[in-house]
Structure formats: C-alpha cells, structure tokens
C-alpha cells in the first residue's frame, strides 16, 4: 500500500512545473520581429509585433526581455496597441504592459514594441573562423529574451516572422519560407522569412553571414539546403549532404516533416549543433570535408519532430527532446547500416551512463534543477535514449513505432509531458506502463545485478542466483546466453521482479561461458561470477 501510494505520488510529481511564471490568461499566436543590423556597432534596433489572444480578464501581461545594464541589454522606447501608446514598465528583465479597459476576454490584440540595444547573449554577433562578421541566434534554453521580447518558454508556442534589415553583402536565413528579399538602398537589404507553424522560442532564430547556398534537392516536396561559409564551400556541401537521406528516413518512420524547408547551416553556435526549427545550426568546425557529422545531422534532424514540433511542456521533461534525438539517431543507423551499428551505439551509451550515474546519480526527470542549462547531462541524452530502447523491447517493434507515430500525430506543433507520451504508448501496446516509466525515469540509480552461476550435471542445468543490490527492486527481463564448445549460443530470458531470483536454465552440457544481455537490450550494471 505504501509502495503504491509512493508510485502515485511520484507520478503526480510529474505535474509539478518548472519555475517559469506561466500566464494562462494569454496565448501568443504570432510574433513578427523586425531586426535592423549594421556593421559599425553591435547595436540592434528591434520592433516586435505580437498577436495574442486574451483568454481571461486581465489588466496587464508580461514578456521576457533582458533590460539594459551597463553597455548591454535592451531599452524599450514605445509599446503600442494599434495607434495607441500603452503604459509599460521594464524591471527584472520582465516587460510589463498595461492594457486599456476595453480589452476583454475573447479579444485578439496586436501589440507592438520598439526597442534597441546590444544583445547580452542570444544573438551572437562575432567573427567566424575566416574573420567574417556574423550574426547567429542561439536561444536555447531561454536566451531568446536577450534580443526578442517574448514568452520565453516552450509552453506557449507561436508562429514567427523575421524581417531582417542588414547591409546588402549579408545573406539571411531564418525559420520557415523566404517570402521577400529587397534592396532598400545601397546600404540596406531587407530579407523576410515566415514560419507558419507554431514553434517555441528556443528554436526561433536568424543567421546572418556571407554564405554559399546549395539547393541540394527536395524530399517529399521539402527543399533541403546547405548554407556554409564560402571559404569552405565544397567541404561544407559534401559534409551536409546526408541531410536529405536522414530527412527521408524520419519522414517514413515518424510522420510528415513539420516545416516548410530544411536548411543545414554552418554557424558559430556554442553547441555542437542546435536544432533550430527548419534551419539547423552546426558548429563551424563541423565542416571538415571528411563527412564526419552524419550522426550530428541525424540528431538535429530528429529534433524537428521531437523537441521542436512535439515539445516538452515543462523543462524537466527535456528528455522528450534529447532522449528521442539520441535514440532516433541510433534507429537511423540501425535501418541504414544494420543492427550492429545500433548495438555499437547503445553499448557506448550504456558505458557513459553507468559511469555518469555512479558519479552524479539523479533521475531522468530531475525536478530539482532550476538552472536550465544544467538539464543537459547523460541522464537526458544517453540514459533517456536507452529508456526508449527498452520501451521498444517491452512493447515490441510494431506497438513501439505505431506509438511513436501516434505520439507525433497527437502532439505535432503542440506540447507534451511524459504522462502524455506514456498514455499514447499504453494505448498502442495495450499494456500498463506505470512501473516501466516510473522505474526508468524517476529512479536515480540504475539496476545493479550480481549474477552467480554453477552447472549441475544431475539437474542438467545452469543454476543461477541473481541478486539486485540494495535499493529499489526493478522489474526486468534479462537475457542470458549459454555458450558451448560448438554451435550457436542458446539465449534464455529471465524475468526478475524480486531482490533475489533463483532459476535453473536447462543445459545438457556445461557451458564454457555465460553472457549477460548478449543482444544489448537492458540498461544495467552487471557482475557475473562462477
């Protein structure tokens, strides 16, 4: 009874939100960001036009925007509702906007904000490795607020347009479709991109640089492009070439790609790759000409479905992004290069997880984290990827992939929590998965199995004693291979759901060797003794 209550409490704890001050009284429908850039200073001039639905009676609402301190940050000069000036305050990096009395629930309003300043972060203005000046948005997790006034949290997704005015020697890439490019004067060019699908701010970006642009083809009518620095054009076009193959694979396995195009962009992101919606940014040294970034490309493209389109509603559920991108990279490798490639990836990931878990035990859903960049660890990448692999074993390939497709269909361009994903998988498999999700996502430690074996001539079998080290008792299926002098090894599956399990596996001859988990299906720390 206590155990059951404890499980219920742990599941209920998933509903506990991260500490972002959500505002359920408004819903942002669309942002239009006009950003002016220049070559003499790092100061940007911004105008944000925001369409939002008012759902409850409110007098005011707040947006995130990092305000000016010393020489960096943004200063707001004006906020308008149509032609009317609105009263606002800008404190603690929150822009509070007072609404006139006639705004009532059910209204959709358009608020515009003029601001200027040098971005402290979020829009990285620097030089690339060839010495060319570049501007790259780098918003994850909540750094958009450094240059864009917004609800800077994935729970309120919106459409976005970027109108970038910059000196004419720059090419500009952003989310969605390019709808206009015009020379305004000899000193300024306007480029307008429009994303018609709701996306979170973490993946709303522009990239402004001198680029060589390759239209590499289309996959299911989706244009695939490479944007690289002209100085390493041939190498870049060649390195980013696997993107079309990856896109085609995920389209078939998961469902239709959510966006209008896929651009793969060489950039100065602080991450190895950043999955910005429909224009992925890769670190600049990803271009080597050696074709070494296929896994990175697969990871970032998988994010277009998981993280960008079906987004975590709460930062503590970031494994719904990173675990999925990690595992679907392995799945891409499995179907493209064979099962051995999948196993190789999982074996490497398991070693990373075992080492990391012993040093820094924490659960995959770690509600203690309030500093969001700290969310990124092997717990939400390799370990969470392993959770998906074990879920696939638990429900079988057919139910697993059907469930993945259903999850994407249901939460496409929306938000989900772990409980939503679990529900979809329970529906597609017809299996209750409470214990599975709980033990693999809420438990800090990994299962640790001590396996002792001996051979009994009289019983014609291998006598096994499997002990779980003190701590939680996991429910597991462990495969054990009995290797003999000749012939293929015989694989048995042992169900473990107690602290100590004793079982005899039939064997006419004494095996020369036992092997735990020969087919790489279980995330555990094992210790085999004879």
Residues 6+ apart with CB under 8 A from 419: 11, 14, 15
Query: Given the complex with Zn ion, which of 205 and 464 has the nearer CB atom?
Result: 205
Q: Which residue is nearest to Zn ion (CB)?
A: 325
**Rounded distance, CA 229 to CA 391, Å?**
42
Interacting residue ranges for Zn ion, rule: CB under 5 A: 322, 325
Query: Given the complex with Zn ion, which of 263 and 298 has the nearer CB atom?
Result: 298
**Rounded distance, CA 261 to CA 270, Å?**
24
Residues 6+ apart with CB under 8 A from 223: 215, 217, 261, 262
Query: Given the complex with Zn ion, which of 99 and 296 has the nearer CB atom?
Result: 296
Helices (H), 283-365: 294-305, 319-337, 339-359
Least distance in Å: CB of 500 to Zn ion?
40
Least distance in Å: CB of 376 to Zn ion?
8
Query: Given the complex with Zn ion, which of 323 and 447 has the nearer CB atom?
Result: 323
Structure tokens at 31: 């942002």
Query: Given the complex with Zn ion, which of 18 and 322 has the nearer CB atom?
Result: 322
**Rounded distance, CA 91 to CA 40, Å?**
29
Query: Are 394 and 386 within 8 A, CB to CB?
Result: no
Going by their DSSP bridges, the two strands 448-456 and 525-529 should be labelled as parallel
Least distance in Å: CB of 126 to Zn ion?
23
Q: Phi first, then psi: give them for residue 198, nearest 5 degrees.
A: -65, 125
Q: CA-based Rg of the chain, rounded to a whole angstrom?
A: 26
Q: Phi first, then psi: give them for residue 133, nearest 5 degrees.
A: -70, 135
Query: Given the complex with Zn ion, which of 325 and 514 has the nearer CB atom?
Result: 325
Of 403, 23, 33, nearest to 199 by C-alpha is 33
Least distance in Å: CB of 365 to Zn ion?
17
Cis peptide before 141 (omega within 30 of 0): yes
Query: Given the complex with Zn ion, which of 277 and 325 has the nearer CB atom?
Result: 325
Query: Are 112 and 119 within 8 A, CB to CB?
Result: no
Query: Given the complex with Zn ion, which of 322 and 394 has the nearer CB atom?
Result: 322
Query: Given the complex with Zn ion, which of 322 and 420 has the nearer CB atom?
Result: 322
Q: Phi first, then psi: give them for residue 195, nearest 5 degrees.
A: -105, 115
**Rounded distance, CA 441 to CA 190, Å?**
47
**Rounded distance, CA 345 to CA 331, Å?**
10
Least distance in Å: CB of 271 to Zn ion?
8
Least distance in Å: CB of 321 to Zn ion?
6
Structure tokens at 237: 């076009």
Least distance in Å: CB of 273 to Zn ion?
7
Query: Are 319 and 364 within 8 A, CB to CB?
Result: yes
Least distance in Å: CB of 408 to Zn ion?
17
Least distance in Å: CB of 441 to Zn ion?
18
């Amino acid at each position: 009874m206590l155990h059951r209550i404890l499980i219920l409490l742990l599941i209920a704890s998933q509903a506990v939100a991260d500490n972002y001050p959500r505002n359920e009284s408004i819903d942002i429908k669309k942002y239009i960001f006009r950003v002016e850039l220049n070559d003499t200073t790092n100061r940007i001039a911004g105008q944000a036009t925001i369409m939002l639905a008012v759902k409850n009676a409110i007098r005011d609402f707040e947006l995130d925007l990092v305000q000016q301190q010393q020489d960096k940050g943004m200063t707001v000069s004006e906020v308008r509702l149509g032609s009317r000036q609105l009263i606002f305050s800008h404190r603690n990096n929150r822009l509070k906007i007072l609404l006139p009395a006639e705004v009532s629930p059910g209204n959709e309003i358009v608020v515009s904000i003029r601001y200027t300043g040098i971005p402290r972060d979020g829009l990285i203005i620097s030089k690339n490795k060839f010495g060319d000046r570049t501007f790259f948005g780098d918003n994850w997790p909540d750094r958009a607020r450094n240059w864009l006034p917004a609800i800077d949290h994935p729970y309120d997704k919106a459409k976005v347009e970027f109108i970038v005015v910059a000196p004419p020697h720059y090419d500009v890439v952003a989310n969605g479709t390019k709808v206009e490019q015009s020379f305004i004067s000899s000193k300024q060019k306007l480029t307008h991109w429009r994303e018609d699908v709701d996306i979170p701010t973490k993946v709303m970006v522009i990239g402004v640089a001198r680029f060589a642009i390759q239209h590499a083809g289309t996959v299911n009518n989706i244009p695939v492009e490479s944007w690289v620095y002209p100085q390493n054009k041939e190498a870049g076009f060649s390195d980013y070439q696997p993107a079309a193959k990856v896109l085609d694979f995920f389209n078939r396995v998961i469902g239709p790609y959510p966006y209008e195009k896929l651009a793969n962009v060489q950039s100065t992101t602080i991450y190895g790759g950043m999955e910005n919606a429909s224009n992925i940014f890769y670190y600049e040294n990803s271009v080597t000409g050696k074709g070494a970034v296929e896994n990175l490309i697969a990871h970032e493209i998988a994010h277009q479905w998981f993280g960008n389109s079906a987004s975590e509603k709460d930062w503590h559920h970031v494994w719904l992004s990173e675990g999925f991108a990690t595992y679907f990279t392995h799945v891409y490798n499995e179907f493209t290069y064979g099962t051995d490639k999948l196993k190789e990836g999982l074996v490497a990931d398991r070693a990373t997880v075992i080492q990391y878990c012993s040093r820094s035990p924490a659960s995959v859903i770690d509600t203690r984290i309030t500093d969001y960049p700290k969310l990124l660890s092997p717990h939400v990448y390799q370990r969470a990827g392993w959770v998906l692999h074990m879920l696939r074993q638990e429900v079988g390939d057919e139910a697993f992939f059907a469930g993945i497709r259903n999850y994407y269909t249901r939460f496409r361009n929306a938000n989900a929590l772990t409980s939503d994903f679990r529900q979809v998988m329970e529906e597609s498999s017809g299996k209750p998965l409470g214990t599975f999700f709980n033990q693999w996502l809420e438990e800090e430690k990994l299962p640790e199995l001590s396996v002792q074996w001996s051979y009994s001539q009289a019983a014609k079998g291998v006598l096994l004693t499997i002990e779980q080290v003190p701590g939680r008792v996991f429910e597991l299926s462990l495969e054990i291979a009995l290797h003999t002098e000749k012939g293929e090894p015989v694989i048995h599956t042992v169900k473990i759901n107690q602290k100590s399990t004793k079982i005899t596996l039939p064997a006419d001859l004494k095996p020369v060797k036992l092997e735990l988990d020969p087919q790489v299906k279980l995330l555990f720390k094992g210790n085999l003794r004879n």
